Amino acid sequence: MQSGLTLQARRVFDEMPQRNIVSWTSAISGYTRNGKPDQALALFFLMLNSGFYPNEFGFGSLLRACVEARQFKTGHQLHGLIEKSGLGLNVFVGSALIVLYSRSMYLAKACRVLNRMEAGDTFAWTSMIVGYSNGGFSLEALELFSQMIESEVRPSEFTFTSVLKACASMEAVKLGSQAHGYAIKLGFEDNYAVRVSLADLYAKCGDMLKALILYDRAPHVDVVLCTVIIGGYAQIGDSDKSMEIFVEMLNLGLLPNAFTLASMIVACSNSHRAHGPAIHGHAIKSNCDSILHVEGALVHMYAKMGKMEDACRVFKNMMHKDDVSCSSILTGFSRNGYDADAIEFYCKLHRSGVKPDAFSLASVISSCAKLSDHVYGRQHHAQVMKHGHVSDTFVAGTLVDMYAKSGFIEEARQIFDDVPVRDRVLWSAMVDGYAEHGMGKKALRVFDDMIEGSVLIDQQGTI
């Protein structure tokens, strides 16, 4: 049974005149190890009907089978049998329970299991940290890691990768650097998985110098590490370096995955726009063009390039049109002078029940301003108030601009006065509004107030 359950092995098992706990456990473990969790669970029920109860190893395999088969409810029921069997404090069983509860997002129960265990081992602690990190509870993952160290439990490479993932999600580069130092102390400096996680941390926090050092010193590189570096450079707007690493990756014979291509599309949105269609071609060739985050990046790139026909073509073919892609289309229409299309598109989104974000509302109000369409502008103002974006300085700036250009300067001033914290764009919108209507003294008064408030003026500021 140790090499896995073949049909012949199962036949031998079925023909055994007498079975004991060892043979039942071996059969269940064999199914679980060979990726057949449903068969493992089916065999468990036969085991119960035969009058046998699993031992700690059997329960461990069954809990793993529940996770792999996503039969979480069955796993929760197994926990009751485990407690009745007196194995609730067993480290092996406890670790499997933590994995079950963390994968099914019952993190509080997973934590209770860890706290009850007689002596949590590395696997148990790490399983809990992985659960927190993957569930988006990054702070809790870092707090538990600190407790793990205080309890003198040695972390594994999987512990460090999850801790570094949590640091990256919080952009906590200082805590990540401390974890980096501890990883070096424990001899994980050359572990490839840890190296990739460290590079990802530094890249997401904008420290590309440290990320590139890890990349350059790697004994070998794969598509994951290359993608991390490409994405990091794309995030800080250094498209040249993204393109350099991408070409280097292709020269090494590495095939880009969906994340690589999405990052390269973002890079092409910033510059190297002529290469955008070629990257799109790579996505089609790799069958990645219908993956959501690749589609979203393509919509954003074409909209930013002003190629609204291409942007709309990709958007139309999307199976799931997410809020980000909708916002990209709307912003693309507005920024590229298709203001009537922007208003029409927004109305379609509103009728379909999509809740607009602040950026979408600002874009459609900007289009109303350029068309001096105060009727639609007032309707969208109502949407701003309904969805709680009235104090957003970016939205307020477009409202001030819209009312001012439509000749409703008093309404513009009312919105301006109601915003508690004003940025340069909002101040400039108010100054421009007065200036456009020949109210020079009021424009200068607002301008003086802006200077007294130490608001910075760019080279295109209005005087």
Burial annotation 284-304 (CB, 10 A radius, 16+ → b, else e):
eebebbebbbbbbbbbbbbbb
Higher pLDDT, 454 or 162: 162
The secondary structure of 250-293 as a DSSP string is: HHTTPPP-HHHHHHHHHHHHHS-GGGHHHHHHHHHHTT-TTSHH
Q: Give pLDDT tens digits for 336-346.
A: 999 999 999 99
pLDDT at 460 over 80: no
CA 2 vs CA 34, 244, 395: distances in Å? 11, 49, 65
Looking at residue 115, what is its pLDDT? 87
Higher pLDDT, 263 or 357: 263
Cα separation, 302 vs 111, whole angstroms: 46
Higher pLDDT, 3 or 29: 29
Diameter of the chain by CA atoms? 103
Least confident of 39-48, 155-164, 450-459: 450-459
Q: Where are the domains of the chain?
A: 1-120
pTM of this prediction?
Answer: 0.80
Q: How far is CA 252 from the centre of its chain?
A: 28
Looking at residue 15, what is its pLDDT? 67
Cα separation, 54 vs 66, whole angstroms: 15
Query: For residues 398 and 369, is the Cβ–Cβ distance under 8 A?
Result: yes
Amino acid at 72: F
Q: Give pLDDT tens digits for 275-297.
A: 889 999 989 988 988 899 999 99
pLDDT level of residue 384 (50, 70, 90 thresholds): confident
Dihedral of CA atoms 90, 91, 96, 100 in degrees, nearest 10, equals: 80
pLDDT, mean of residues 418-431 = 86
Q: How many residues does the chain have?
A: 463
pLDDT, mean of residues 389-411 = 87
Cα separation, 170 vs 227, whole angstroms: 20
pLDDT level of residue 462 (50, 70, 90 thresholds): very low
Looking at residue 266, what is its pLDDT? 92
Q: Give pLDDT tens digits for 301-354.
A: 999 999 999 999 999 999 988 888 999 999 999 999 999 999 999 988 888 887
pLDDT at 4 over 80: no
Kindly report the backbone phi and psi dihedral angles of residue 295, in degrees, each rounded to the nearest multiple of 5, phi listed first.
-60, -45
The closest alpha carbon to 141, from 119, 113, 121, 168, belongs to 168
pLDDT, mean of residues 158-187 = 95
- DSSP category for residue 354: P
Residues 6 or more apart from 374 whose CB is under 8 A from it? 368, 402, 403, 406, 407, 408
pLDDT at 436 over 90: no
Least confident of 82-96, 127-141, 220-234, 255-269: 82-96
pLDDT level of residue 456 (50, 70, 90 thresholds): low
pLDDT at 420 over 90: no
Cα separation, 100 vs 311, whole angstroms: 43
Give, in words, the CATH class of 1-120.
Answer: mainly alpha
Looking at residue 463, what is its pLDDT? 43
The closest alpha carbon to 122, from 59, 186, 31, 198, belongs to 186
Query: For residues 177 and 148, is the Cβ–Cβ distance under 8 A?
Result: no
Looking at residue 118, what is its pLDDT? 66
